[in-house]
Amino acid sequence: MASPARNNISSVNEPFLSAADLAQATRTHVQGQWEISSRKLPISRAAAIDELTERITIPVPEMIFGDNQVAIRHRPSGWAIWFDAGDALDQVDKTGQGRLQVAYASDWASSREMSSVEGISDVRPYDWSYTTPYKGTELVVGGQEGESRSTASATAMAAPAADAEASTKSTKAAPAVNGILPPPPPPSASASSSPLRLTPTTAITSLPLDLLRRRDPIVFNDDVILYESELDDNGISVLRVKIRAMPQRLLLLSRFYLRLDNVLVRVRDTRVYVDFETNEVLREYTAREDSFENVRRTLAQRRGLRADGIMAALRDANQVADLLPVVESTMERLDLSRFSRRT
């Protein structure tokens, strides 16, 4: 008896995704000692959404692309960093202490049948704007015990069963992510007394923009969305990752954009820069935000936009990001030059 025909893995009617399906959907490019991977698939299915909701303990956005990922790996050392929706959402505030209110919060709350309502903040016990300080999930290699560990700032992604024996910083670990990232690094990379990880630096204050502005050929690029919410028609919250690699360097931009109508505009940018020749990695994190009214006024005064043009601009993070004041900025560096090929 012939087996039933299966849909293409990108079809919403395909009931599951196997490891082979994920591998088939993954694009990989090798540049020198570096491996760059990305994967784009449709919105997650119900079972995957339920599993993720249980893991992060908050409802997920309306559009969640749980299988989408972007990863960068240094092959000789095993160090890697990747970006995915699960780890990003796991860093959303779950206490509700800093969550925002929509412009008509009191009217919204009074329309709900509740025994006690003081505003919209009592209805949603988490940051429903899905603001995340996520800077990527880093695979830290080495240390005194020779372990490999995965850190996503405050959290780590649960490992597949095959990696359950990997030693980690916490009880969760992830040397591999659904087929994109490799097995744990070789012993030679793990034997160092000091771990290979991004660390804060004050010696470098900005990325090498002069090099990034060069018209070098692009050997790999992608634009991957991780999640999006329309905030009950009160604006938009979206996290996406863009990456482009040139022969000598790459730049990754992970951008969270929030527009809460008549309340706030917020951008959280993480940029990862890799120099393929020196094996230097830089990670720059910048948080920007301003009131909705200030941004609207700036668009009108500086760019001469009218009402329709202002609303169109507010739908595009690229048009407003540079207008927002910086509220936080950090720079981190990792030197992997010890693994450079000797000539």
Residues 6 or more apart from 149 whose CB is under 8 A from it?
139, 140, 143, 156, 167, 168, 169, 170, 173, 195
pTM of the predicted structure, to 2 decimals: 0.81
Question: Strand 280-291 relative to strand 264-275: parallel, antiparallel, unpaired?
Answer: antiparallel
Position 118 scores a pLDDT of: 44
pLDDT digits over 315-332, tens only?
A: 999 999 999 999 999 999
pLDDT digits over 33-83, tens only?
A: 999 999 999 999 999 999 999 999 999 999 999 999 999 999 999 999 999
Whether residue 238 has pLDDT greater than 90: yes
Whether residue 343 has pLDDT greater than 90: no
Could you tell me which residues are beta bridge partners of residue 237? 229, 258
Q: 194, 207, 228: which is closest to 332 by C-alpha? A: 207
Position 17 scores a pLDDT of: 74
Residues 6 or more apart from 216 whose CB is under 8 A from it?
246, 247, 248, 249
Q: 326, 322, 267, 327: which is closest to 298 by C-alpha? A: 322
Greater pLDDT, 173 or 72 = 72
Could you tell me which residues are beta bridge partners of residue 221? 244
* Rounded distance between C-alpha atoms, residue 191 and residue 305, angstroms: 58
Q: Which of 187-191, 215-219, 225-229, 280-284 is least confident?
A: 187-191
Whether residue 250 has pLDDT greater than 50: yes
- Provide mean pLDDT across the span 11-37: 83
Contact 17, 41 (CB under 8 A): yes
Buried b (16+ CB within 10 A) or exposed e, 91-112: bbbeeeeebbbbeebeebbeee
* Rounded distance between C-alpha atoms, residue 269 and residue 134, angstroms: 9
Position 13 scores a pLDDT of: 52
Contact 169, 189 (CB under 8 A): no
Report in angstroms the alpha-carbon separations of 312 from 106, 125, 209, 217, 296: 28, 31, 28, 32, 11
User: CA 114, 115, 117: angle at the middle one, nearest 5?
Assistant: 65
pLDDT digits over 262-293, tens only?
A: 999 999 999 999 999 999 999 999 999 999 99
Greater pLDDT, 128 or 14 = 128
- Provide mean pLDDT across the span 137-163: 53
- Provide mean pLDDT across the span 303-319: 92
Residue 222 has φ and ψ, to the nearest 5°, of -160, 160
Element (H, E) at 87: helix 85-89
- Provide mean pLDDT across the span 236-265: 97
Whether residue 170 has pLDDT greater than 60: no
Position 125 scores a pLDDT of: 75
- Provide mean pLDDT across the span 187-195: 57
CA 341 to chain centre: 31
Whether residue 18 has pLDDT greater than 60: yes
Residue type, 84: D
Residues 6 or more apart from 279 whose CB is under 8 A from it?
33, 74, 335, 336, 337, 339, 340
Tell me the angle at which helices 307-314 and 292-303 cross, rounded to the nearest 10 degrees: 120
